[in-house]
Structure 1
Amino acid sequence: MAEQELRSTALEAVHESLGATFTDFAGWRMPVRYDSDLAEHKAVRQSAGLFDLSHMGEIHLRGPEAAAALDHALAGKMSAMSVGRAKYSLLLTEDGGVIDDVITYRFSEDHFLVVANASNAEVDAAELLARAEGFDVEVDDASSRTSLIAVQGPQSEQILLDTLLGADSGVEGLTAEDLTEMKNYRFAEGTYRGESLLIARTGYTGEDGFELYLPNEYAPALWEQLTAVGGDRVTPCGLACRDTLRLEAGMPLYGNELGRDLYPAQSGMGRVVALKSKEDFVGRKGIEAADLSGRPVLVGLVAEGRRAARADAQVRDGDGREVGAISSGALSPTLGHPIAMAFVSADVAEVGTELVVDVRGKDLPVRVVEMPFYRRD
């Protein structure tokens, strides 16, 4: 796709003014870094990072049967979720493969928001619309008019308190307690300059953090306020460090650890599928009929040194037998050694198993470990 055809977020001019390096991500022109991947990664772990995630999809479902429609459409039981909470779930194919992993927020008894990955946003919206047929619900794809700004890191709560509750912040309807008492996968609503503002304690970095949803036209002003008030405590961050952060936290990436050709159980996501707590839903029959014997499973791998295995690198056992492939890998900025996720044969998936990865033609000894690789204190 030519650069002029790439979609831009409402914050593009801000990123350009900050000297960002851009990349094509799922058809969007997105900042991959501003300065140093390592410095941005470190900022999130030690203080706070500021991310533009406006390429994600936002799909609202409103109506008296919104909960029932989502119970049918998704693998989780959305009807059991309380108002003010968020829930991670999967959108499955009829055969039980994964179309996407999503987060769903419940605003009221009859209003939900489903947030989709950028690469699947249009597909997810079309699937949800099709699966809502026959239910009394309206599906509204608000992706093109919604911006998403994430503040992630141990200083994120204080930065938001200072920014959103300060004089002339433009924010109304939110209190300090709304933020300080907000637990993970909870959210609060307010307004920013008279328009809706959703603040959720969610993220994709393994750190404490928040994600803020608001109309496109107000995103630059909010970004500038967060930057000005945050000062040295907050660093603009691109997609490169977001990937190493999520890898350290053992979080799957669609297209790497999740996909239409993978069952949830292979990716360690079997618990997300509500086989016991609800009746029929799209993908249930496929999951129940699936034969997982002989199928690879996801594991974490660690190594010594500085050479990191990358996606698709071959994994072998001690006898030289090919037993799998790397799905994601990097030299961990926080831990200082190589880490990776890989799909391997079930017979070599036990924690402590010694394996070998082919890194550009050279053998790299690795060991199976529990995930996540990094967990905040």
Structure 2
Amino acid sequence: MWRYVGGWKLARMILPLLVLAAVMIMKDRLPEPADAPAGGDIAAAVDGEPLTVQELRLHMAEQRARVSAYFNAAYQAEESPAFWTTSYGGEIPLEKLKKEALAAAARSKIPMLLAKREGIVADISYAAFLQGFQSENERRAAAKKNRQPLYGPEQYRESEYYRVYQSNVTGELQKKLQLGSRFSEEELLRYYESRKEQLFKLPDTITVRRLTLTHPEAGSVLAGIKEKADAGMELEEAAAPYKEWAVWEETVTGGGSVRSSALSDPELMSRISSLGEGQVSDVFQANGKPWLAVCIGRAGNGYRAFHEVREGIRNTLASEAFRTLLEERIRDARVEINPQVYGRIRDAELP
């Protein structure tokens, strides 16, 4: 008999657009699904898709360090021959490792199941993955032998190619589903209006005067000038005693030039971007010199027009819809354990 261990509650994202942690909730026993292949290596099934011991062990290898660190932090337990089967506060490392690996494996199956549904891949079994893994390494070996361009490692390890394969399939799935996404003009406008201030506001035009000194103690002198300015004195007045060393520059940024200004003088832009009119920056370094800057003018430039950002908004909403779809499918995933196989995974079988 197979045992149903329920859906998944989400905690954080894994891979691009996947959700990381899950909690298994024990449910009633269910009969073995009719479409689950027979065989002694099927440890579980995710929405009816078999999960082999080999694939589960791959996830165990990836979770092993994290689980070991958890027991070390929680119980000061160190790895030893007995570590994985010893109970610490009622928790057994091997059982926690299997549970975490099962959760990770189940999460990895969800985009594969969706990709199969969408016709992106025909076979998402681990056996098919291993065939692709072998073929890819054979292709790489031939490319190296024939001195052809080769990107990435000469040969993939199984765990490396598993991540690459998962990422590629998930990317193709997202691309296909996003191309089919449809949003009304009202939905696009609503997104634009609700995030206009944070995302689509054009940079203000900011006019600043900045001051540096050729004085040998320029940094400490400027700090003293800054103190006087903070106390209410005009910057020019506070700097007057040092006029023979003073070097003043005026800079206007914003509108169409803010990006180029930020790239050419990023430190200045970071210091003045939040200054209100009349405010003086802290002392900062730029081009090997200490500076002070005072904002002498600031004017708003409005927002990017809706038609300019419409397609970007559509892509954002499509990405959010894809992420939500994955989250919902992971949360509702039906995971069934094959106790006879899952229970036989022992300490000696750890990767």
TM-score of the superposed pair, with normalisation by structure 1: 0.20
Q: Which has the higher strand share?
A: 1
Q: Give the structure, 1 or 2, with the largest relative contact order (CA under 8 Å, sep 6 or more).
A: 2
Q: Highest Rg: 1 or 2? A: 2
TM-score of the superposed pair, with normalisation by structure 2: 0.21
